[in-house]
């Protein structure tokens, strides 16, 4: 199966799967792995004209899995999306809190954030394309999971980009309140400087207490 690349055709997956962008919604989430912060999901609907327009700008605006894009590329495509008319692009951002992650587990919290994003989008009657192999319990719609969807399906890739930019910015803002953890750089992931700060300063209300090392060690919440 062909997949979209910076030099490829973004319509290819839809054509190969007998589906139109007009008739589908892409959903993805970011933030399963970090030690701190929420998990964030985005639902995206795009029209076919948007896909064709993006293909014209593919060199300047390459879209793929957000983890394979630079910060500058993600910010550029996010800014471009925000300028597009709402009758051609719609998206909604939702999240599940640290408390929900610790109560439900990270998979169920991620699915909850996806369901919330879909509900917030307010676009019904479309096939819902979900990145990965697990889908949220969305009723009255056709659900399809797409493994590595953020590298294959444009709407899912866009959801991945928007979600990562939103979550990264949230963690950068939190870093002003909790400067010891370097969240402006690691956005909550378990980098060495973050782990050292946990050992030295304890944990914050934004840390996931069911995640190692917080779960393995008797960490004191100092904030």
Q: How many CB atoms lie within 10 A of CB 72?
A: 8
Convert the pLDDT of each residue in 70-91 to its tens digit: 888 888 888 888 888 889 999 9
Rounded Cα–Cα distance for residues 120 and 15 (Å): 28
Convert the pLDDT of each residue in 147-170 to its tens digit: 999 888 999 999 999 999 999 999
In the chain, where are the structural domains located? Answer: 12-178
12-178 fold: Nucleotidyltransferase; domain 5 (3.30.420)
Q: Cis peptide before 86, with omega less than 30 degrees from 0?
A: no
Does the pLDDT value for residue 4 go beyond 50?
no
Bridge partner list, 89: 46
Least confident window among 28-32, 66-70, 153-157: 66-70
Predicted local confidence at residue 61, as pLDDT: 56
Classify the C-alpha dihedral 216-220-221-223 as positive or negative: negative
């Amino acid at each position: 199966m062909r997949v979209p690349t910076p030099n490829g055709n973004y319509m290819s997956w839809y054509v190969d799967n007998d589906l139109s962008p007009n008739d589908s919604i892409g959903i993805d989430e970011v933030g399963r792995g970090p030690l701190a912060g929420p998990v964030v999901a985005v639902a995206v609907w795009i029209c076919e004209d948007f896909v064709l327009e993006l293909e014209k700008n593919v060199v300047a605006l390459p879209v793929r899995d957000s983890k394979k894009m630079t910060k500058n590329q993600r910010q550029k495509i996010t800014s471009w999306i925000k300028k597009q008319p709402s009758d051609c692009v719609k998206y909604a951002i939702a999240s599940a809190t640290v408390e929900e992650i610790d109560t439900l587990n990270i998979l169920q919290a991620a699915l909850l954030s996806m369901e919330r994003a879909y509900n917030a989008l307010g676009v019904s009657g479309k096939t819902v394309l979900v990145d990965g192999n697990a889908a949220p319990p969305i009723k009255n719609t056709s659900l399809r999971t797409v493994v590595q969807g953020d590298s294959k399906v444009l709407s899912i890739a866009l959801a991945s980009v928007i979600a990562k930019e939103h979550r990264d910015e949230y963690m950068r803002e939190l870093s002003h309140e909790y400067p010891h953890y370097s969240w402006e750089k690691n956005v909550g992931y378990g980098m060495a400087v973050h782990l050292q700060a946990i050992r030295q300063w304890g944990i914050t209300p934004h840390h996931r207490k069911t995640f190692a090392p917080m779960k393995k060690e008797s960490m004191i919440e100092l904030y």
